[in-house]
Structure 1
């Protein structure tokens, strides 16, 4: 409900701003800009592979940060030092220059690498986890995604930052990691150049197991992989904000955790209701994908506490602005100022 209120308020603001713009702008200029913007739309590579054609372009801008790519608004700007006793998972096929690039994103000097606990993820491991959800050609033949992870204090939740990741959002990682049973951790995901980042989840899970000595359940990690890929597909197929999609999935998972969804029929009804709450238009195919995912999650041996904590974290972030006493006052002042400007156009 809070999310819906925010969307309605945003819709009203956009409508008023559009009216002001139309009253004040030169029609000829408006037509020109529209044509120009249409002509300059560019495509983004959202391949599920760490080793797409871009992997052969080692001179590609390797300093690009995820603050300019998908999920940037949710980037937690994580910093981790060696005093945090982190574990590092490196793609086994990184060249020396590429390794230096990803370490730089993590704040690690190449000369200090021997001071860290390091594991390596190879391409066979990526195929083991991802072949069921992504084609072999998309996964590719090289492992490049790298991850730095450290445990955080109990109750801190998940904090994630990404660099050179142009497909998986921070929210996607958090939801999938919560499903896998990771509750309190700080994580940095990096690529040597813009890549999808789907394979980085494999590295995160492997590093977490090494760090904690805790073996994660295979069925649960499989469900986490399914969730990551399904969320990415929904982000592409649904006309909506990726954060709304991720929050909707976290909400549905919480309903599973609370025992409210006991069969496929209830799950489908919950999906349709959640889509209304988050103002998302789902196709029949979208509903089928979500139903399949949630049925798998229902039958897996999931640590539901971590899922509930992640869902509550979403709810907290969504509610902060609405519950802020100054939010509505600022919104009211905004509309008053805007109305004064509109009236001045006709005076």
Structure 2
């Protein structure tokens, strides 16, 4: 009888784990946010404390991947970003949302996640107040590993973080959408041609920038070429990279199209206002 009771209790325990902990969802919380801010993040992610796998990420972990590629100001000394990662069905692609992230765009995260080998995931990077978002990638990758049981190599994590910083810096100079589109196309050609030689990679960067009518200075070219050299050394799944970059390209096209539509709408509004005031003085 005791034996059956023990088996029944064990079954009930396992059943509760399956019901109350969704293994396909993992949330990371920045160690330095307050209890109220933690609750705010969980509410944003629409998860409950005892029914979701929740882990903390600290500044030491972020530094492990950002030191040497980011400035001290970009790294900071506190971890304030949190992340939600949900594993989706195969072929779903990567869907990224951001809240209170004011320097890294969702397309930048997606590009870096492709480099890290992440696929088929819904990702939300958020903070309780505006932050740059440079450290959020550490938590996202940690959550993806836990949710899937897959290991992302330390080198891939390092290069993916380097990509976020390179994109952010370049975005300040030429615009975030142009920066992401440039890196997307260069990365796509890099993988397609399987380039390894530094001079070939540098020439590729210059050629693609020229075709996109993007003016790069010497530092831009050096940084981008260095990033692409590091990407070329990774053991990447070529087909997965191509698929991910194609999806990113579509999302970038949609973003640019939406921006053009907004600009057209504003032009019409201003024209109408101008016409109204002109009619008053006729």
Equivalent residue for 1:287? 221
The CA distance in 1 between the partners of 2:147 and 2:255, in whole Å, is 36
Q: CA deviation at 1:304?
A: 2.9
CA distance in 1, matches of 2:254, 2:132: 31
Mapped partners of 1:320, 1:188: distance in 2: 19
Indicate the SS of the match to 2:193. Answer: coil
- Is it true that 1:253 corresponds to 2:187 in the alignment? yes
Is 1:169–2:105 an aligned residue pair? yes
Deviations 1:238-275 (A, max 9, x none): 2xx32121021111111121125341222122112211
Point out where structure 2 has 5 or more consecutive residues left out of the alignment. 1-20, 262-267, 269-274, 276-282
Q: Contact 2:65 / 2:161 at 8 angstroms: preserved in 1?
A: yes
Q: What is the CA deviation profile of residues 48-107 of structure 1, one whole-angstrom value per residue up to 9, with x for unaligned ones?
A: xxxxxxxxxxxxxxxxxxxxxxxxxxxxxxxxxx86831011111210111122223222
Which residue does 1:89 correspond to in 2? 28
Of the candidates 152, 170, 192, which is equivalent to residue 128 of structure 2?
192
Paired with 1:315 and 1:126, the residues of 2 have a C-alpha distance of 28
The unaligned stretches of length 5 or more in structure 1 are 1-81, 328-333, 335-340, 342-347
**Distance in 2 (alpha carbons) for counterparts of 1:315 and 1:98:** 34
Q: TM-score, normalised by structure 1?
A: 0.64
The CA deviation string for residues 286-338 of structure 1, in whole angstroms up to 9 with x for no partner, is 0110000001111122233332122211333466799xxxx9xxxxxx9xxxx
Alignment correspondent of 1:154:
90
In the aligned structure 1, how far is the partner of 2:67 from the partner of 2:253? 38
Deviation at 1:113, TM superposition (A): 0.9
Instruction: Describe how 1:162-241 pairs up with structure 2 within 5 A.
Output: 162-238=98-174, 241=175
CA displacement 1:115-156 (0-9 Å, x = unmatched)? 001111012111111112223454222211100101111111
Is residue 196–residue 229 contact of structure 2 (8 Å, CA) maintained in 1? Answer: no
Q: Look up the match of 1:118.
A: 54
CA-atom RMSD in angstroms: 2.6
- 2:8 aligned partner: none
> Which of 1 and 2 has higher RCO (CA within 8 Å, sep 6+)?
1
3-state SS of the aligned residue for 1:256?
Answer: helix
Give the TM-score normalised by the residue count of structure 2: 0.78
Aligned to 1:106: 45
Change in CA separation of 1:266 and 1:212 when aligned onto 2, cut-off 3 Å: same
Matched residue of 1:128: which SS?
helix
